[in-house]
Structure 1
Amino acid sequence: MNHKFSDSNHIGLVSTFSDLVNTSFLGTVNAICWHRNLAGDFKEIVSKLQLEQNITEVTPETLLALKLSEKGHIAREVILSDLHLLADFGASPSLNLIKSYQRDEELDFISTDVYSYHVDRSPIAADTFLCTYYGAASDILPNDQVEQKILIPQIREKLKELHEGPEAEFETFLSEHYFDLHYQPKPYAKTINLGLGHLWRLAVDHPGQKVLPCVHRAPVENDGEYRLLLIC
């Protein structure tokens, strides 16, 4: 079930890049959205880019080399501006043309790919920034609407069977294989879609974090349609 992000009490809405990067996460708020209605033809850009792998990084030089209409030019300027703003802030943004991510099909009882609801973890203070310009957009869920998969009894038992070391090392095993980062939506969970054109900042699990990390997932791609995603 989808839910409007403007109604959620764990999302902060801002109207400038400065507010996006300077507004503190607080209480239940662990996602901040620079809400925008972008002009420009992002579909034209996607149609003129070459997919080299399932995920292809698009450089500013590649963008600048495209011959575009006026609306395509407007879209390109938006993307270049976003890349510039984030780089000046000290982030390392990447623009990706995405056909699909790799699926984790190794275990039938738990998935650890990006299509599964998960949180990001960092050893240092950092946030995740993302913006979908074209194609299917990412989803997030409030933390009180998910359950950590490793705490679900049936999954935990199977993970214990998979773990061949001492009981004392089980938690380390879960962390080393990223099982502890993944979450299952509760039956009443209301998915919040991040939409197109909005630049988001999501809380990450790191030692200095004062709020819960934001639970999110990559969407299943629309048939025959690539995604154009900025992420860092």
Structure 2
Amino acid sequence: MDHQFSDNSQIGIVSSFSDLVISHFKGEMNALCWNRNLEGDFKEIVSQLQLKDNITEVSAEDLLALTLSEKGDIARQTILNDLQLLSDFGASPSLNLLKNYERDDEFDFISTDVYSFHVDRSPIGTDTFLCTYYGAASDIIPNHQVTQKILIPEIREKLKELHQDSEGDFETFLTEYFFDLHYEPHHGAKPLNLGLGHLWRLAVDHPEQKVLPCVHRAPAENDGEYRLLLIC
């Protein structure tokens, strides 16, 4: 087991998919990890897939059409099994080949893209599942090590100036444009990298949620390297 996960009060460690989906978030714990050391050659799969856009969704049929070595096939079976487990659970998993996400550079004082630390929000009770099979992996950060960006005085003032040109309540404006979902790490904050091969379940902001939502971000991609990511 990876000790950086086991010694962290934000993370619960499980050893099976069934434990991953039935365990409850509680206290500071808003991330659950099915800790795995996957076998197989995921790089071989990535090298054979065709990137059509910066983000290309890969279907089970796309995976099955690849001609792979024995190690490549082990990796393929792992991904197909994960897709099946999540689908049977009632989730809608998506396997993405990623060059990069779109950057939000509209404002110089606040970013609302996925490279910024943020939480996911849903109107219904749900969770975010993700697993990075290849490439750079996502980060999470403890809630006490971040401040909501809309509460930082200089950012809030600039948002108020921006709001003057639109109608409606200021707080509604912040929600409608997703400014309230983004967070600024404190000086000396210690993000945790989610690593490769582990299947994660992260707490989402929704009406029935009993814990704080998990603050996370997409990583800067490694030069010349695609990511292979399962997410739902």
TM value normalised by structure 2 = 0.97
Does structure 2 conserve the Cα–Cα contact (< 8 Å) formed by 1:4 and 1:193? no
Query: Match of 1:169?
Result: 169
Does structure 2 conserve the Cα–Cα contact (< 8 Å) formed by 1:58 and 1:97? yes
Matched, 1:10 2:10: yes
- Of 56-65 and 167-176, the range deviating more from structure 2: 167-176
Does structure 2 conserve the Cα–Cα contact (< 8 Å) formed by 1:5 and 1:193? no
The one-character-per-residue Cα deviations of 1:179-200 (angstroms, maximum 9, x if unpaired) are 0000000002101000000000
Name the aligned partner's letter for residue 204 of structure 2: V
CA RMSD across the alignment: 1.3
Aligned equivalents of 1:125 and 1:152: distance in 2?
29
Aligned equivalents of 1:166 and 1:78: distance in 2?
49
Does structure 2 conserve the Cα–Cα contact (< 8 Å) formed by 1:115 and 1:220? yes
Name the aligned partner's letter for residue 201 of structure 2: R
Matches within 5 A, 1:1-232: 4-164=4-164, 169-232=169-232
The one-character-per-residue Cα deviations of 1:93-142 (angstroms, maximum 9, x if unpaired) are 00000000000000000000000000000000000000000000000000
Q: Which runs of 4+ in 1 moved over 3 A?
A: 165-168
Aligned equivalents of 2:44 and 2:91: distance in 1?
27
Name the aligned partner's letter for residue 73 of structure 1: D
| Aligned-partner SS, 2:51 | coil
The one-character-per-residue Cα deviations of 1:69-88 (angstroms, maximum 9, x if unpaired) are 00000000000000000000
> What is the count of residue pairs matched by the alignment?
230
Using the TM superposition, give the Cα deviation of residue 8 of structure 1 relative to its aligned residue in structure 2, in angstroms: 1.1
Aligned equivalents of 2:138 and 2:111: distance in 1?
17
The one-character-per-residue Cα deviations of 1:183-228 (angstroms, maximum 9, x if unpaired) are 0000021010000000000000000000000000000000000000
TM value normalised by structure 1 = 0.97
| Structure 2 CA distance for partners of 1:161 and 1:69, relative to 1, 3 Å | same
Name the aligned partner's letter for residue 145 of structure 1: Q
| Structure 2 CA distance for partners of 1:116 and 1:176, relative to 1, 3 Å | same
Does structure 1 conserve the Cα–Cα contact (< 8 Å) formed by 2:117 and 2:215? yes
| Aligned-partner SS, 2:12 | strand
Using the TM superposition, give the Cα deviation of residue 164 of structure 1 relative to its aligned residue in structure 2, in angstroms: 1.7
Using the TM superposition, give the Cα deviation of residue 167 of structure 1 relative to its aligned residue in structure 2, in angstroms: 9.5
Name the aligned partner's letter for residue 12 of structure 1: G
Aligned equivalents of 2:24 and 2:4: distance in 1?
22
Aligned equivalents of 2:127 and 2:27: distance in 1?
16
Q: Which runs of 5+ in 2 are unaligned?
A: none
Aligned equivalents of 2:6 and 2:160: distance in 1?
41
Aligned equivalents of 2:202 and 2:214: distance in 1?
6
The one-character-per-residue Cα deviations of 1:135-192 (angstroms, maximum 9, x if unpaired) are 0000000000000000000000000000026897000000000000000000021010
